[in-house]
Structure 1
């Protein structure tokens, strides 16, 4: 009995001492770490709030060498242009800290953005702090915030990340259309399929 009581106390203590894991960002949540600044490929420092447009913000977690990024390159470029034209700011985030000195360096990010003819913000997520705050785990993975800065959609660009020719539902495009129309997003979450974000261990 005494032994069981001792083990229970130890378990309770260890549970209380263990930090909580990252909590998934839920629909309706505000933009995480909105006022902190991050280095853009232009060399300037930019915050998510500063990148936000009058009608919202589209955040895309990205990588330079992920096959899924390459398969979605045209889709990312297209949806970014649609968002920008409709007053939604667009920012891509590179959180691959474990390979920062290899293919995910700032120089490599600049080269990738030029290759895909992307003209928006593309920032370095130091220590994967933004990926942790968003609970983002894949590239590409998208988060759409409305004009008030509240999360209205998170997940994939569409229902066929691996093959653009078999797309049936344009999830992110639908979410943008519904948000701009002042409607609730019908499908607010979806599973993102892509490369794992390479956090530093």
Structure 2
């Protein structure tokens, strides 16, 4: 009986750990805290932005869906719009372990500058700890965190899940909508949407 009980307990513990590994951020609950290093080599953490709205954007310069929003200036424009509203914007570049971290950071930083992007910080999520904590699946994958640290939006950048830049003009930008609703003190018109883009690379 004892062996059976121990085995059952170990199995239950393993299942709990597996569930935790697959867990992701949930709208309406506290956003997972994180700390890391940005593309300029400076430390950055979610906690340092406490008391402000924070947008998280998963980004990959090689992804056609990301290029859709950067080549025409859409994403940089939304970043600047958010900044004008006092909203912090953190881009997150998730990549597998290995390779030259400095080179990865430099390449992302140079690309963002070339596109006229204006994130508050760009976190280099080497190994994917931040991405896994949030359940980030695509680039782009967008999140909005309120000043209390609660996640209030998760999903797509907009309503047209294509890589065609021409679709931007007729799409509803869910992030702008979420920012505007939140700042106006209104319930978000869309709190959860289905993200689209290239798969986040964890390994």
Query: How many residue pairs were aligned?
Result: 191
Alignment match, 2:84 = 85
Taking structure 1 as the reference length, the TM-score comes to 0.84
Taking structure 2 as the reference length, the TM-score comes to 0.83
Runs of 4+ in 1 over 4 A off after TM superposition: 9-13, 98-102
What is the distance in 2 between the residues matched to 1:172 and 1:182?
15
Following superposition, the deviation at residue 164 of structure 1 comes to 3.8
Following superposition, the deviation at residue 31 of structure 1 comes to 2.6
Alignment match, 2:46 = 48
1:169 and 2:169 matched: no
The answer as to whether partners of 1:63 and 1:96 remain within 8 angstroms in 2 is no
Following superposition, the deviation at residue 101 of structure 1 comes to 4.4
The unaligned stretches of length 5 or more in structure 1 are 1-6
The unaligned stretches of length 5 or more in structure 2 are none
RMSD, aligned α-carbons: 2.5
Structure 1 pair 66/192, CA: closer, same or farther in 2 (3 Å)?
same
Following superposition, the deviation at residue 70 of structure 1 comes to 0.3
Alignment of 1:91-130 (within 5 A): 91-97=90-96, 101=100, 105-120=104-119, 121-130=121-130
Helix, strand or coil for the counterpart of 2:55? strand
What is the distance in 2 between the residues matched to 1:142 and 1:100?
26
Alignment of 1:178-189 (within 5 A): 178-189=181-192
